Structure 1
Amino acid sequence: MTPIACHECDLLLMPLELSAARSQAYCPRCGARLYGCHHDRLEKILALTVAALTLLVTAISFPIVGLDIQGHYAETTVLDAAQALWREERGLLAGLVLLTTVLMPLFELGAVLWLVLPLWRGWRPWGFARVFRLLRLAQPWAMVEVFVLGVLVSLVKLSHLADVLPGPAMACFGGLMALLAALSVLIDPPALWQAWDAARPLPFAGGALRRFRKARA
């Protein structure tokens, strides 16, 4: 669990030490406001996550761009582009495209659902600290904005050779980029730990833990 440093007096506090203030927290030494939690924060995170998952699945399924060269039309998706790179013996580049554009955003959104959905229902998710740590490690690898920028540069360079027609996946990736940025602002570690402290343990998780302890005794 990452401690919180007061921006006024540099006092280090653990998030669970501040759980008494349900909507906001103040430094006990200087009284500075550390953070505030909106009651609808979890609902906003869930709504944005579901919307981002929908856009991600749509962006993977539909073409990114189409090329019309002298009457011959061709289009490609992200998975098709990765397969083409693999066939051209550029396996490392194909893996990076899949990792940063598909797998890491999918893992990030899945981890957010794993953490926030039980908290929204009033339960503590299993493996909260471990999953949250993995989420923070995965966030820098979700480079949707880099992919979108690369596609836009390629479109500009190909515009004098063929008629370039952006596909529906381009708009989906643009929306996904905006939603991921909004999620990074809403997902506040102290607020999530505060919600975890106020939630109840999962009943089946507690029973499984007791059975495990009895088996080891």
Structure 2
Amino acid sequence: MSPGRFRTSDRYNQQKMAPKFMTDVASPTEAEPQAECAELHACPECDLLQRLQHITGRETHGCIRCGAVLFRSGPDSLVVTLALLWAATILFLMANSFEIVTINMRGNLSDVSLPGAVLALWQQERPFIALIVLFTTILVPAALLALLLHLYVPLMLGLQPSGVGLTLRILHLLRPWAMTEVFVLGALVAIAKLFNYGSVQPGPSLWSLCALMPVLSAMFTAYRPDDIWARLAQEDDPS
């Protein structure tokens, strides 16, 4: 037996130990008719290349080695993702256009917006923190939304966006750096402490950021690059 092949008993035990939601993994050397009705998927966690049978209905397919979700079927992900993307874009623009809080200290009113918070940190000689807030709370979310709009709007209009592969790679690299929830948590802690010094009223920006977090989470849950490639394949082959 060659070292690169599993014995039948080993393969059975490996599939038996896998979670119930996982799909069977077809070997590339199996019969050709079965290979024609399956699609190759690389696990995003362990890079194992697996063949998944065509998905029907609502199913979830996972990696037989590490358990990571490979594919989750459901409603049209392109439509759902685009709807959530427009909602996230509106909330993000509101979060950067209005004040986060309004503070009343002995009759002196002052308010601060999200860009104003970055500027205030810079003026207080804290450039490193200011750059971190600017990058993780403003620049990265803006870039993610812009890149997704670049992909989804042309697709829904029946057009082909340019640089799809590069755009998807950049999205994959930027996603871990979007830390809106960390900023909101820090803002809530700061607001709680400011109550000891005066009257603090949360502004529209703070509520927009709070609403943006679940919308972004739902959007990236519905976001599936495989559906983007499938739509592009349909555009290339209208038959």
- Normalising by structure 2, what TM-score? 0.70
- Name whichever of 34-43 and 147-156 sits farther off: 34-43
Which aligned runs of 4 or more in structure 1 are off by greater than 6 angstroms?
17-20, 22-27
| Mapping 1:23-172, distance limit 5 Å | 35=71, 37-38=73-74, 40-172=76-208
1:90-142 per-position Cα deviation (integer Å, ceiling 9, x unaligned): 11111111111111111101111111122222333211111011011111111
Root-mean-square deviation over aligned CA pairs = 3.1
CA distance in 2, matches of 1:167, 1:26: 41
| Contact 2:78/2:227, CA 8 A, preserved across alignment | no
1:158-193 per-position Cα deviation (integer Å, ceiling 9, x unaligned): 111111110110110011111100111000232222
SS of the residue corresponding to residue 99 of structure 2 reads: coil
CA distance in 2, matches of 1:152, 1:7: 40
2:22 equivalent in structure 1 = 7
Aligned to 1:186, which of 211, 217, 222? 222
1:206 equivalent in structure 2 = none
Identity of paired residues, percent? Answer: 33
Q: Highest relative contact order (Cα 8 Å, sep 6+), 1 or 2?
A: 1
2:44 equivalent in structure 1 = none
- Normalising by structure 1, what TM-score? 0.77
Which structure 1 segments of 5+ residues have no match?
1-5, 28-33, 202-217
The 1:82–1:198 alpha-carbon spacing in structure 2 relative to 1, beyond 3 Å, is same
Which structure 2 segments of 5+ residues have no match?
1-20, 28-38, 42-49, 62-69
Return the letter of the residue paired with 1:115.
L
| Contact 2:26/2:51, CA 8 A, preserved across alignment | no
Q: How many residues align?
A: 192
Task: State which structure, 1 or 2, has the greater radius of gyration over its C-alpha atoms.
Answer: 2
How many Å apart are 1:41 and its aligned residue?
2.3
How many Å apart are 1:36 and its aligned residue?
5.5
